[in-house]
Amino acid sequence: MTHRHHIAAAAPAASQATTGPAVAPAPLRARPLRIAVVGGSLTGPVLALLLLQAGLDHVTVYEANPDLPTATGGILSLEHPALDVLDRLGIPQHEYVQFGFETITQFRGYGPADDRFVQRQYPGRFTTWTLLHQALARRLPAGLVHAGRRVTGISADHRRPMLHFADGRREAADLVAFCDGRASIGRRLLDPGRRLHYAGYVAHRGTATIRPGDLGDFQRWEPRPGLQFNIAPVPAGSDWIFALNATTEQYTTWFGAPPEQRTFVLPHHVSPAARAHVDAYAATHLPAHLADLVHATTTRMAVPVMDIDLPTTMAWPVGDGHAVLLGDALAPVRAHTARGANNGIEQADGLVTALRQHTRHGADLPGALLGWRRRHLLTALAAVRQGPIIADRLGLGTTRDLATAVVG
């Protein structure tokens, strides 16, 4: 008896057979799925490593900044789901978590007495952009990241997505994942109707080479409505962010361009007037030891706090292929929500799950991307909406009435 006959004989009788149509074998792809990742900061490298781990090894990362490996960034928080993604990539926490605290200590100079000093548990860990980026970059294979490649357009060529670059070159892919931050070229190309809107305040940031003796966790100081000072230990000292209200005109005067144009202020953009403004508020409203630390900080940057029109989708067809937006490219959130890096990492993990079902089991790719959108878009919308609510409670900026998005 052949193996085929044996299986047939062992099949249940018609009266015992399960109902429902038979599942046809998954069709094999004629060629590997080619994936282009635009953006080499955090979400892009996480996505690339997850893709490689899933066996999707036709991956290329394009980064516009030719000097990104030399860049530095401040404190950021990672919740447990994002930390778990990094664990599964084989990145030990000690590489990017240098301080093991899980608390936020808040000092408030107004409001109810029992709310003046509060210590809260944070469901995760704190790191810095610099530490996490370095940990990710160490694991990316040589030649995977193409630095200094600025995307300028996307089109469908022979039914495949085609990326256009500033140097005139073009590159084809089956899927393009834009992970290129809150000033995303991908968002401008795929969803041009959604714009960034200045929220009316600035996150002034400094990296100090000294660390206060009592700085053992993330501290939040709110002396009065309209300002918030956050400080946390980092390996080289301490990192602080001073959120202060500012008009568009003030921002333009201090940093040389309007907030919608200069969405990130590098140290050479910080004018003496901007520095003096921050120093004056620190001297007036912060404890003396923190005011002195701010004044002594030479390396300073700033970020205008922005809102975004709410997204209604995360994926777009381009010919027979697709393009997607992830993280801040999809929907940048206010820092108060602590969801920026978390959204990007969790969305990258979910996208790879969808692609793995497509490549391993023949799942319909548009359907898989629709499921990915339904799982992650609501979380992104909630974080965008939450930012103005928190800021209004703190007396920061202006409150925008964010429209309600319909999620299909």
The answer on pLDDT for 13 being more than 90 is no
User: What's the rounded Cα separation, in Å, for the pair 38 and 149?
Assistant: 9
**What is the per-residue pLDDT for 319?**
96
Contact 52, 90 (CB under 8 A): no
Mean pLDDT of all residues in 244-273: 97
Q: What is the DSSP letter of 115?
A: G
Q: How confident is the model at residue 398 (pLDDT cuts 50, 70, 90)?
A: confident
User: What's the rounded Cα separation, in Å, for the pair 27 and 133?
Assistant: 38
Burial of 2 (0-12, 13-18, 19+ CB in 10 A): exposed
Q: Where are the chain's structural domains?
A: 31-92+129-195+309-408, 198-308
Mean pLDDT of all residues in 203-207: 96
The answer on pLDDT for 22 being more than 70 is no
Domain spanning 198-308 has what CATH number? 3.30.9.60
Cα 329 to Cα 32, 221, 301, 341, 380, distances in angstroms: 26, 30, 21, 11, 11
Greatest alpha-carbon pair distance for the chain in Å reads: 92
The answer on pLDDT for 1 being more than 50 is no
**What is the per-residue pLDDT for 20?**
42
The percent of residues in the chain predicted with pLDDT above 90, rounded, is 86
User: What's the rounded Cα separation, in Å, for the pair 252 and 306?
Assistant: 15
Contact 221, 290 (CB under 8 A): yes
User: Structure tokens of 25?
Assistant: 């074998």
Q: How confident is the model at residue 70 (pLDDT cuts 50, 70, 90)?
A: confident
SS3 309: coil
In the sheet that 35-38 helps form, which strands lie side by side, from edge to edge?
Answer: 145-147, 59-63, 35-38, 175-178, 321-325, 315-318
User: What's the rounded Cα separation, in Å, for the pair 323 and 155?
Assistant: 10
Q: What are residue 120's DSSP bridge partners?
A: 104
Q: How many CB atoms are located within 10 Å of the residue 71 CB? A: 12
**What is the per-residue pLDDT for 18?**
38
- CB under 8 Å to 102, separation ≥6 — which residues? 121, 122, 123, 124, 125, 217
What is the phi/psi pair of residue 52, to 5°?
Answer: -65, -40
CATH fold for the domain made of 31-92+129-195+309-408:
FAD/NAD(P)-binding domain (3.50.50)
SS3 374: helix
Mean pLDDT of all residues in 13-39: 60
Q: How confident is the model at residue 402 (pLDDT cuts 50, 70, 90)?
A: low
**What is the per-residue pLDDT for 114?**
87
The answer on pLDDT for 246 being more than 90 is yes
User: What's the rounded Cα separation, in Å, for the pair 190 and 232?
Assistant: 37
